[in-house]
Chains A and B, each alone.
Chain A
Amino acid sequence: MPDSPDRPVRVASGQGFWGDWQEAPKLQVRRGPIDYLMLDYLAEITMSILEKQRERDPTAGYARDFVDMVLDLAPDLVSEGIRVVSNAGGVNPDACRDALVQRLADVDTVRPLRIATVRGDDLMSRLDEVLAAGHELRNMETGEPLSTVRERVTAANAYMGAGPILQALRQEADVVVTGRSTDTALTYGPLIHEFGWKADDWNRIAAGVVAGHINECGAQACGGNTLFRWRELDLIEPGYPIIEASADGSFVVTKHASLGGRVNWASVTEQLVYEMGDPTEYITPDCVADFSTIRLEDLGDDRVRVTGVEGRPRPELLKVSIAYRGGYKATGTLTYSYPDAYEKAVAADRVLRGRLDRLGLEFDEIRTEYVGAGACHGPLAGPPDPSVPEVELRISVRGEDRARVKRFTRELAPLILAGPPTVTGFAAGRPRVHEVMAYWPALIERDVVESVVQVEVTEA
C-alpha cells in the first residue's frame, strides 16, 4: 500500500506464461520493494489443456505451480504487505483456492492470508443454455456459428476485465485467483483500485492497459528475446518488469537493479509491438487503448517513462475464447550428418512418404521441414549449404483419424536401418500422438457473463 499520496504504486510481473521461470516471482518479492505481484498463466490454448486435466480429475484444472509459489512467498507477502493478482485459477479457481487453504495451514504467517476467487468466466457448463438464448458465438475469423462444432467444444471462457479483481481487492484480498481474466487486467486492476480511477476515465485506464501489456510477457520487456544489442546482456538472472505508476496515469517501467537484463527504449518498444494488431484499437473489456498515443522517455539507469496514453470507451461485447477438438497430430524427427546432410534428409522424406502412400495412409496435412536448412525462414534462407554439418528432418502429420496418425509414428524408426545413411537422433523413441485443440474466438454480450461473476474471500 502506498504510504503517501505521491509515492507510485509498484506492480511487478512475475510470470509471463505457464512454464515461465520459477525463480522470477521470488526475486521480484525479495530483491526490492513492490506493492503487487501479477502472475499471468493463461495463453489462448491453456484453458483447453486445463479443461482436459479437470475432466480426468475434478480437483485439477489450474496452474499447480502457483500454489507452490504462494506457499513459498506467504511469509513475505504478509510481512511486506504485497498482494498477488493472478489468473492461475484456469478452469477451476475453487480447486486452486482449496489447495492453497489446505497447504497454507502448515505455513507460519503472523496473520491468515485472505484469498479471493473469481468465478463466472466459464461458459462451458452452460453453453447449451447460452446458445439456446440466441447467442450464436460466431467465429470472429470465419463467421460460422458455434453450432457447427458444438459437439467438439472442450472449453469456453469469456475474458473478464478488472471488475472482479477490484471487488476482490476492496475486500482486502491478499491473493486474487481468477480464471480467464485478460492478462492486462492483472496489472491495471490494482492501479484502478489504488488510484480510484472512474470506470469511464478512458485515458487513465488505457495507460493501465499499456502498463499491463508491458508486464504480461515477463522478461520480454527487460531484454529477454531482444534483438537490440543482445550480446551485451546478462540473462542468467534477468530482471522482470516493474511498473511504477502515478495517479495521473503516467508510469515508469523499471526492474530491480541487482538483476540482469536491461530496460531501455528498445526493450520497451519491442514488447509494445509484440502480438500487436491495429495499434489504435487495442481492445480490452474496460477500454480501447490507442498505442499510437504512447510517449516513451528513456531516463537511463533501466528506467523508461510512459506518458500520453489515450483511450476510448469500452466495447459492448466481451471476447470469448473457445477450444474444440480438431483431430490428431504427430511430429517425428531424425538427424542426418555431413556430408550431403540436406540431400540425405530429402531422400529420407521421399522414402517415408512413399511408404505412407503404399499403406494408403492419407492425412489432412503432411509437412516436412529441414532444421538447419531453412525450417524457420523457408526460401528466404537461401539454398541449403551442401557442407552443413547436420540437418534434422522434421516431418509432421495431422488428421481426424487417431489410428492413422499413430501408424505414421511407427514409420520413423525403420528409416534408421532401411533408409539413407549417417542418421541419428532417435533416442526418444516413437513420436507421441497429440490431440489438436483448435481455437474459436467469438464475442458475447457483457450481461451474459457479468451477471454471474462471483467473488468469494476465504482466510487461510
Chain B
Amino acid sequence: MKVPLWRVAFARSGDKGDTANVGLIAFTESVYPFLVDNVTADKVKQHFKDICRGSVDRYELPNLRALNFLLHESLGGGGTVSLMLDAQGKTFSAALLRMEVDVPEELVHEADEVSGWSERLE
C-alpha cells in the first residue's frame, strides 16, 4: 500500500555547514529493506528539489536499520550566513517523512504496532 514515510519510519536531521543530514530509521527490521530499495538518493534529491541545490549522498546503516542522507547546498550558505528560518535543517527530518512509499500492508501494520499508530488510528 502507498503510505507516507512517517507510517513506517522516523528521522532526525541536522547540519554541517551548508549540508543538511537526515537520518531515516525504520520502525521495524522488516521495513528496512523497503527503505533501502525505495528511498534512493535520486528520489530524495527529487523530493527536496526546491530546497537542495547540490547533490544527495546516501549511506546505509543496516546495523541501526537506518539510512543517512547528505543534502549538499541546502541551507542557504549554512551557519550564520544563512537567512533561512530553518538554517540548521532541523525540520528536514519531517520534510523527508512526507515522501510516499509503497510498502506491503502487513508490514505497515507491523510498523504501526511499534510507532503507536495502531492505537491512534483505532
Binding site for B on A (CB under 8 A): 44-45, 141, 225-229, 231-232, 266, 269-280, 291-296, 326, 329, 331, 365, 367, 369, 371, 375-380, 394, 396-398, 434, 436-439, 441
Contact = CB atoms under 8 A, between A and B. Distances in A.
Interface residues of B, number: 43
B contact patch SS: mixed
A45 B25 contact: no
Nearest to A367: B83
**What DSSP secondary structure best describes chain A's contact surface?**
mixed
Interface string B73-86: 00011111101111
A264 to B, nearest CB: 11
Given A276-B23, A367-B84, A380-B98, A227 B93 contact: yes
Contact of A275 (B21, B62, B81, B95): B21
A436 B78 CA distance: 11
Instruction: List the 9 shortest-distance A-B pairs measured between CB atoms, nearest first.
Output: A273-B23, A396-B83, A275-B14, A367-B83, A376-B91, A227-B10, A270-B12, A377-B95, A378-B50
A258 B70 CA distance: 37
A229 B57 CA distance: 28
A277 B81 contact: no
Given A276-B68, A277-B70, A278-B59, 9 more contacts: A225-B12, A228-B10, A269-B25, A274-B21, A279-B68, A377-B98, A378-B51, A380-B48, A398-B81
A276 B80 contact: no
Contacts of A294: 63-64
Contacts of B21: 273-277
B63 A292 contact: yes
Contacts, number: 131
Given A44-B79, A292-B63, A270 B10 contact: yes
Contacts of B68: 273, 276, 279
B94 A437 contact: no
Interface of B: 6, 10-12, 14-18, 21, 23, 25, 47-48, 50-51, 57, 59, 61-64, 66, 68, 70, 76-81, 83-86, 91, 93-95, 97-98, 115-116
A398 B84 CA distance: 11
